[in-house]
Amino acid sequence: MAYDLVTLGEAMVRLSPPHFARLEQAASLEVQVGGGELNVAVTAARLGLSTAWVSRLTNNALGRMIAGHARLHGVDTSRMIWTDQDRVGLYFAELGAAPRASAVLYDRASSAVSKLQPGEVDWAALLAGARWFHTSGITPALSPSCAQVTREAMQAAKQAGAITSFDVNYRKKLWSPQEAGQVCSDLMQFTDVLISTEEDIDLVFSLKSDNPKHAARQLAARFDFRALAVTVRENPLVWNNTWTAVVYAAGKMYDTRTYTVEIVDRVGAGDSFSGGFIYGWLTSDGDLQRALDFGAATSALKHSVPGDLSWATREEVESLLQGAGMRIVR
């Protein structure tokens, strides 16, 4: 089948102490599943797009758990690369409260996906007729072979006629800004839509700016994008933030509403923006204002639920865009 969206990337099992406990004091851990590109595929699938997610998973209970969560939300995992070797990556999320920030501890070294090799995925077959391909800077950061596969996939997507998007998603625990800058700059030749934060634009592309709009204009002057989206978070308190985004395309800047979010869990909010943005674009013939509005509203809703994955529905997003209040829905 021809997919609306194909994503490539890692997913892990997430373990979190309940009730804001520190890892050192935890007597139990809550289990979630998530990963940047899986989160995007899930968000888009829940909104109504046909999506497929590609990764490499170990054929054990943890790998099957991850794939099962993807399928639960309607994401096709039939192109998954399975192995009886290696391991599934884990990460521990310790949720903080002001003045203690949340923290993440990774246990992902030598994971199955980090050993994904060029040529393992038949990209021409997978992307035939696909409308959009998405990945992020996390994927090439996992290993040199993953960087090669990311380039292979994005080049194949361009050749297949799909729109391509790339979320910078810089992770300092995976690589240095210099390494990220070299790899990501090369990938920009295959990128139609770039998604980032102002901070990541500075770190990865060495572009200092005084505001997100300036950052977007600077980076757009360097690379040939169809659109560049920058998400903007202000976090005066750990669990009380404001959230919005801007898009720059063809010399025009687009703004959207700023949301005040009471955070239940902020992990995956940027991915939900990407999924909502892609949905908004593909269902409105490329209307950038619609895409931006949908992306920001979808990601605002993601803050209100635990775990990495979005549980928002299209109806909830539409209702929020129409000014839904905070009264109980009865």
**Domain with 236 in it: what CATH number?**
3.40.1190.20
Residue 81 has what pLDDT? Answer: 98
Are 235 and 261 a contacting pair, CB within 8 Å?
no
pLDDT tens profile 70-98: 999 999 999 999 999 999 999 999 999 98
What stretches in the chain show pLDDT beneath 50?
A: 328, 330
Side-chain-facing half-sphere of 112: CA atoms under 13 Å? 25
In a domain, 319, yes or no: no
- The amino acid occupying position 284 is S
The verdict on residue 326 lying in a domain is no
Contact 247, 254 (CB under 8 A): yes
pLDDT value of residue 137: 98
Active site amino acids? 271
What's residue 325's pLDDT? 64
Specify the pLDDT at position 328: 47
Q: What is the rounded CA–CA span in Å between residue 150 and residue 241?
A: 33
> Does residue 318 form part of some domain?
no
Residue 200 lies inside a defined structural domain of this protein: yes
Q: Residue 21 falls within a domain, yes or no?
A: yes
Bond before 212 cis per omega within 30 degrees? no
Count of domains in the chain?
A: 1
Residue 107: how many other CB atoms lie within 10 Å? 14
323 in a structural domain: no
- Boundaries of domain holding 79: 5-313
Q: Is residue 96 part of a domain?
A: yes
pLDDT tens, position by position, 179-236 = 999 999 999 999 999 999 999 999 999 998 889 999 999 999 999 999 999 999 998 8
- Please state the pTM of the whole predicted model: 0.96
Question: Over the range 279-312, which residues count as b (16 or more CB within 10 Å of their CB) and which as e?
Answer: bbbbbeeeebebbbbbbbbbbbbbbeeebbbbbb
327 in a domain, yes or no?
Answer: no
Could you tell me if 85 and 57 are in contact, meaning their C-beta atoms sit under 8 angstroms apart?
no
pLDDT for res 237: 85
